[in-house]
Amino acid sequence: MAAGFASLADSRRQLQAEAVNSGGADQKIIETTGARIEGLKEYSIEDVSKHDSPENRVWVTYKNGVYDITDFIPMHPGATKLLMAAGSSVEPFWAMYAVHLNNPAIYEMLERFRIGNLNLADAASQAEQIASDASDPYSTDPARHKAIVVNSKTPFNGETPLSILTDSFITPTDLFYVRNHLPVPDVDIKEYELEVSGLGIKELNLSLAELKKLPKHKIVATVQCAGNRRAEMRATKNLKGLEWRGGAIGNAEWAGAKLSDVLNAAGFDENDERIRHVHFEGLDTDPSNSPYGASIPIEKASDPRGDVLLAYEMNGEPLNRDHGYPVRVIVPGVAGARNVKWLGKISVSDVESDSHWQQNDYKGFNPSTDWDTVDFSKSPAIQDMPVTSSICSPAPGAKVKGGQELAVSGYAWSGGGRKIVRVDLTADGGKTWTQAESLEQDTARHPRHWGWTVWKGKVVVPEGVEETTEVWSKAVDSSYNVQPETFANIWNLRGVLSNAYCKLKLSVQN
């Protein structure tokens, strides 16, 4: 343990005890993290700057504190991003990845790695510099509809309320869930060009007008965040990730050029065995100017029947800023993370994207893998999504009576172009089942059925039940994949692929 840590720990314990007595422990932790602690060693900015890699140890500063976070880096899901702050302050990065702000657990963890104070002169100089650079990177984000349920403000992440999610087969654009990882770029369409380059093809630079000269295709496709329904998985065991309640999904009509047409225009040769992946980069960037990125296999990217679109319209209108204006990728049937917004670059490659979101996030692990044992390199990136369903009505906790016939409704969807063929319902813990009697779908066939199913059905509430009961839904797709029964057996530390039975708890009145 670093020198001075014992005195730091004593100081923190005393501070927390005082805060608990005053009723503001979490706020006190936030306010005092990075405060000067007498008796700790003093370091200069120059001292800190020498520790800028795992080989040299990784030091960072926060306010007046100096921290050696080398041993923490392997446990951090955003390790590559964290290393960008090596040898300097973490404050600009926390302004960008604002999930860290106002989270007492993160401040508490940071203080465990405290090794000293930044000397007074350098602390004042650094604070002045940070203040001068403190323009809010999210200040130009667009306004959002007030009905959206906000899970994080910066970056903005919000979902459609379940109570209205399936009122329309096509999700209205302004109510469609928003999953942003970085600030929304403000793209000047006069300067916009889509760069297409890479292995075995010629370079293209396409304006939006040039992209629109290619044949226009339309598809109805659902986009779903890989972490949708995470809140239900978290109820089994705590995990890391946004609290998606089931509304991080939407169904829209998308229009644009097929990726396969663009690749062919660039001279793509389907017989070139070197080509394995197609990368996408967005125009949204972090403090190091690193863009959001992802990739998909060439088999999906180059297949005209894979229906991958470079979309410039959503529900008959130009994309709005939150949904990727002027161009985004729609990779139907695949995790939302691969549907890159504000598309700036497409590259053909023999290797997968090296972006953080492809390599160190959006992957599944077995339930016994934790942050001490996880190795993201040993798990493939999520592509096709599994079958899922959710009950949207009635609302959780709604009052019902034993013996009552209860109308229930919701959505079901499966990735990979698979169609929903059945939604099974039970109100007695699986002793007896009925089927949803209404399945609203588009006419596309398996394996090119990209849209969701809005379903309606009825169950009978069991008699003799006291206080609460549950209604369960499970969907079956056209490959006869079915949802697993419990979250316990599919739990993973990032809460992705959360597709167990939806179990709606209701209040029973006898």
446 carries an active-site annotation: no
Question: Active site residue: 100, 145, 321, 448, which one?
Answer: 100
217 carries an active-site annotation: no
Question: Active site residue: 97, 177, 325, 362, which one?
Answer: 362
Question: Active site residue: 12, 114, 179, 449, which one?
Answer: 179
SS3 490: coil
Contacts of 103 (CB under 8 A, 6+ apart): none
Q: Name the residue among 99, 279, 297, 226 with its Cα closest to residue 498.
A: 226
Question: Active site residue: 225, 229, 292, 501, which one?
Answer: 225
Q: What is the 3-state secondary structure (H, E, C) of 76-108?
A: CCCHHHHHHHCCEECHHHHHHCHHHCCCHHHHH
Q: Name the residue among 95, 101, 83, 89 with its Cα closest to residue 125.
A: 89
Kindly tell me the sign of the dihedral angle through the C-alpha atoms of 251, 255, 261, 265: negative
362 carries an active-site annotation: yes
- Cα of 261 vs its chain's centroid, Å: 29
Contacts of 449 (CB under 8 A, 6+ apart): 417, 418, 419, 441, 442, 478
Report the alpha-carbon distance of residue 301 to residue 331 in Å, rounded: 8
Report the alpha-carbon distance of residue 235 to residue 200 in Å, rounded: 48
Q: Name the residue among 387, 385, 384 with its Cα closest to residue 479.
A: 387
Question: Active site residue: 76, 145, 276, 446, which one?
Answer: 76
112 carries an active-site annotation: no
225 carries an active-site annotation: yes
- Cα of 64 vs its chain's centroid, Å: 32
Report the alpha-carbon distance of residue 502 to residue 162 in Å, rounded: 13
Give me the active site residues, please.
76, 100, 179, 225, 362
